[in-house]
A and B are shown apart, each in its own frame.
Chain A
Amino acid sequence: MYANDPTAAIIGMDVTEVDELLTLLVTEEIQITHPPRAGLIMMTVKDSLAVNFHLGEVLVTEAEVLLRGERGYGLIIGEEPRKALARAAADALLRCGRPVLLCKQVSDCLERSRQRQNTKYAEEAALVASTRVNFDLMAGA
């Protein structure tokens, strides 16, 4: 799940995991340059004739921070100010790469949540896979 961006794990975090992550992040001085605000992203999709169109808008929350001079950006689906802030701070921290120990702790925290979410997804996928169907044609068909 979204392996190329570790902060994407925050999307599916539960309240406890977000608390744990924020507790780690606030050990650094974070300047909130844009406090979390709700807004809309127009979702564009490509149809099966390769034409892009706007499907509709999605409610999101956006935040921006500065951490050790690094700009951190957080955008997350839903009205989730804490998650948006956590994502912005984690974004800045992991790109900055310092302090190394905190980066590792944050990465581990994100990875633990990612694994938990992957297990949940696998469970849901197994339920769907159990409905795999192979209809038999009736005689003469």
Chain B
Amino acid sequence: MGYVAVKGGIEAIENACRLFAWERSKGASEPLAVEQIREQLYLAVDRVMGEGSLYAPDLAALALKQAAGDSFEASFMLRAYRATQPRIGYSLPGNTREMRIKRRISSAFKDIPGGQMLGATSDYTLRLLDFDLLKDDTARREAFRETVFNALPINAEIPDTLPKVIDILRHEGLLENAVDLASNDEPFDITRQSVTFPAPRSAALQSLARGETGGLLTLAYSSMRGYGNIHPTLGELRVGYVPLQISHPVTGEPYTVGEVKVTEAEVLARFDGSDGMPRFSLGYGLCFGQNELKAISMAVLDRTTRAEKPSCPAEDQEYVLYHTDGIEAMGFSNHWKLPHYVDFLSDLDRLRKAQSIAQQEECHADA
């Protein structure tokens, strides 16, 4: 048995990469088109864009295909791709009040101005397998499309803008004001600067927005179960499209580049009476695509990490931000698969030495 640092293995590595590509293409089924993934597995695409921190639906779908459905790998590819592209600039600050709404609900109030719209959701299904999908052909789809559009109520419309639930609470002095935390500073950019703690709010939100859904959910769930409970109520959850705008380089006017699908969650949390008047505090979550678990978890963690005296992981900003980036967590976990022969040899040496000392001490004790 030899313990040495390794090199080479190129041929085996190349064959392994080829074998991985073969595994996903050796079956008898038709090749999966990127367009099919983008359209039919759109929630997976949205998740990859959010965690990869790059809004590019076609590339996210391609990454999912290449990674054989592994969302961590796909997000990693997307984030690696963004590192190859030039940064053209920053957008004008987007306003989610201008969102083209696809879904909007509140668990705080039954009646909200503009109404609640359930949108496309599986929330109310029984999670029973739909065996009809086994024969999902074009004819079935056409028939389904007809039933969807034929059932439309006449004059079904949505207002262009909808007031927010938090506006009502703020108007009545029941919710913390925006000015409490507002800052005129340029937002921190974690892709350009190293984060130090306590991190400014803009850095924390940017980190959480690119966080891994499962990681954020785990820590948010720990808070919901009592480890730093903030007693959250979902004031409003929105899914929709927000305009992406820059300043036109010739005219200086706002110039729309496109629209970006996002999920926004506003969580009403434990009273805060630091200024003498008790008010609800707010937790805020926003991420690319439709990813409601992530937006809600982010909102909860935004609020928990503002605890003045952290008493558990979910309240510790450094702990939360350092452990929820999926790409970093995956990279570190994956690196254990790489050869550690020399490290382990050192561990073995130490163990053998320790055993030898223990044996000697045992002999002395017996003598």
Binding site for B on A (CB under 8 A): 2, 4-5, 8, 11, 37-60, 62, 71, 73, 75-79, 91, 95, 121-135, 137
Would you give the shortest CB distance from A95 to chain B, in whole angstroms? 7
On whether the beta carbons of A53 and B205 are closer than 8 Å, the reply is yes
B126: A residues at CB distance < 8 A = none
A-B contact pairs, 26 of them (CB 8 A): A2-B256, A39-B85, A40-B82, A41-B90, A44-B94, A48-B178, A52-B187, A53-B188, A53-B206, A54-B189, A54-B202, A54-B206, A56-B206, A57-B55, A58-B54, A58-B55, A59-B54, A59-B55, A73-B248, A75-B88, A95-B251, A126-B153, A128-B101, A129-B156, A131-B117, A133-B118
A135 and chain B: residue at smallest CB distance: B110
Interface-side segment among B26-34, B259-267, B335-343, B349-357: B259-267
A43 CB contacts on chain B under 8 angstroms? 55, 91, 94, 244, 260
A37 / chain B contacts, CB cutoff of 8 Å: 86
The smallest beta-carbon distance between A97 and chain B, in angstroms, is: 14
Whether B244 contacts A41 by the Cβ 8 Å rule is yes
Q: Contact check: which of A8, A42, A48, A57 meets B282 at CB < 8 Å? A: A48
- Partner pick for B182 among A49, A73, A91, CB 8 A cutoff: A49
Given A42-B189, A77-B257, A95-B251, list of 18 further CB < 8 A pairs? A5-B256, A44-B94, A45-B286, A46-B95, A48-B266, A49-B178, A51-B181, A55-B287, A58-B257, A75-B246, A76-B257, A76-B258, A78-B258, A128-B102, A129-B153, A130-B153, A132-B156, A137-B110
- Cα distance A41–B92 when bound, in Å? 10
List chain A residues, Cβ under 8 A from B58: 78-79
B88's closest neighbor in chain A, by CB? A39
Name B299's closest neighbour in chain A (CB-CB).
A48
A41→B117 contact, CB < 8 A: no
Q: List chain A residues, Cβ under 8 A from B176.
A: 49
Least Cβ distance of A84 to chain B in Å?
10
Please tell me which one of the listed residues A8, A49, A79, A125 contacts residue B157 in the complex, with CB atoms under 8 A apart: A125
Hey, which chain B residues are within 8 Å of A123, CB to CB?
Answer: 149
Please measure, in the bound complex, the distance between the C-alpha atom of A122 and the C-alpha atom of B152, giving whole angstroms: 12
B177: nearest chain-A partner, CB-CB: A49
Q: Does B103 lie at the interface of the complex (its beta carbon under 8 Å from any beta carbon of A)?
A: yes
In B255-288, the 8 Å CB interface with A consists of: 255-260, 262, 266, 282, 284, 286-288
* B 215-249 to A, binary, CB cutoff 8 A, 1 in contact else 0: 00000000000000000000000000011101011
Instruction: Name the residue in B93, B243, B246, B249 with the highest tally of chain A Cβ atoms < 10 Å from its Cβ.
Output: B93
3 shortest interchain CB distances as A-B pairs = A77-B258, A129-B156, A59-B56
Measured CA separation A135–B210 after assembly (Å): 34
Q: Indicate whether B47 reaches chain A with its CB closer than 8 angstroms.
A: no
Name the contact of B151 in the complex, choosing from A52, A57, A130 (C-beta under 8 A).
A130
Q: How far is the CB of A61 from chain B (nearest CB, A)?
A: 10
Q: Which residues does chain A contribute within 8 Å of B118, judged by CB atoms? A: 131-133
B182 to chain A, nearest CB (A): 4
Check if A77 sits within 8 Å of B259, measured CB to CB: yes
A42, B89: Cβ atoms closer than 8 Å: yes
Given known A42-B89, A71-B250, contact A49–B284 (CB-CB < 8 A)? yes
Task: Tell me the minimal C-beta distance from A78 to chain B in angstroms.
Answer: 7
Per-residue interface assignment for chain B, residues 86 to 128, with 1 indicating a CB less than 8 Å from any chain A CB and 0 otherwise: 1111111111100011110100001100011111000000000
**CB distance A49 to B88 under 8 Å?**
no
Complex Cα spacing A91 to B54, Å? 27
In the assembled complex, B142 has its CB within 8 A of some CB on chain A = no
Chain B residue contacts of A42, Cβ below 8 A: 87, 89-91, 189, 191
| A131 lies within 8 A of B119 (CB) | yes
Q: Are B93 and A44 in contact (CB under 8 A)?
A: yes
**Candidates B101, B153, B202; contact of A52 at CB < 8 Å:** B202
- B100 neighbours in A (Cβ, 8 Å): 121, 125
Give the residue name and chain of the B residue nearest to A136 (CB).
B110
Q: Is the CB of B258 within 8 A of A60?
A: yes
Q: Is the CB of A127 within 8 A of B187?
A: no
Q: A41-B88, A43-B55, A77-B257 are in contact. Are A55 and B117 (CB under 8 A)?
A: no
From B49, B148, B187, give the contact of A53 (CB < 8 A): B187
Q: Given contacts A73-B250, A129-B156, A133-B118, is CB(A57)–CB(B82) below 8 Å?
A: yes
Residues on A with beta carbons closer than 8 Å to the beta carbon of B190: 54
A113–chain B nearest beta-carbon distance, Å: 15
Pick from A8, A50, A55, A122 the residue with the most CB of B within 10 Å: A55
A50 CA to B88 CA in the complex, in Å? 25
- B156 near A130 with CB under 8 A, answer yes
> What is the CA–CA distance of A130 and B282 in the complex, to the nearest angstrom?
30
